[in-house]
Amino acid sequence: MKPRAAWITCAVAVLAVVLLCLWPLLGRSWFFVKYADIDLNSGDLRHQVRVCSLVVNTRIEESPLSREVRRLGIPVPANRAWRHAFEGRLVRGVCVDYWYGSVYVQIHTLLSLLDQTKTPDEERRVILTELMTSLQTGDPHVAREQTFILMGDIADKHGLDYFIPEFKAYVDKLRDSRKGR
């Protein structure tokens, strides 16, 4: 065997052994993770890639919520309050949904309902101000419940059967308990 061919064979063998040793680590939450975080104050999204818990890439973008909040001129605090929404791992297709991931999905549903019902800007401003106030509490349960209440209010106003009856009863109960506070 020629020296160059032996060197290539050896390099390929070493690379294969290194990959086999690293493969189990690639799916670990601390090795290579992609995060999507939501800013509770503006609704912006931050995407981060972390390798061995070190941030190697960060990108901030507007979300449909933050675009709408800015368009309507709803005041938001200047500081950021980032919370994990989603986490994805390199291997095994693992995706972790945090509480704010669920809230983020519900917010998109609320925005779609506003578009579907052609809600005017003045009304949108009131609704999204309430939403942002609940989001800024830092309690994902409060924000999620408020999103359901707002969706129920919009559906009721427009005569839509948006929720199944059992869930509508739950939302009505939430609304009544919030009014009682």
- The per-residue pLDDT for 97 is 67
The C-alpha angle 8, 12, 14, rounded to 5 degrees, equals 115
Question: Could you tell me if 50 and 35 are in contact, meaning their C-beta atoms sit under 8 angstroms apart?
Answer: yes
pLDDT mean by block of 10 residues, the chain; 181 residues: 76 75 58 87 94 89 97 95 86 68 94 96 97 94 95 93 92 86 59
CA nearest neighbour of 157 among 116, 99, 109: 116
DSSP bridge partners of 87: 35, 96
Beta strands per DSSP E along the chain: 32-39, 45-51, 54-61, 82-89, 95-97
Distances (CA, A) of 103 to 65, 100, 140, 150: 12, 5, 7, 13
Quote the CA–CA distance of 69 and 62 in Å, as a whole number.
10
Domain ranges of the chain: 26-179
Q: Give the pLDDT confidence score for residue 91 in this predicted structure.
A: 61
DSSP per-residue letters across 7-48: HHHHHHHHHHHHHHHHHHHHTSTTTEEEEEEEETTT--EEEE
| pLDDT for 9 | 85
Structure tokens at 83: 């919370």
For residues 172 and 152, the answer to whether their CB atoms sit within 8 Å is yes
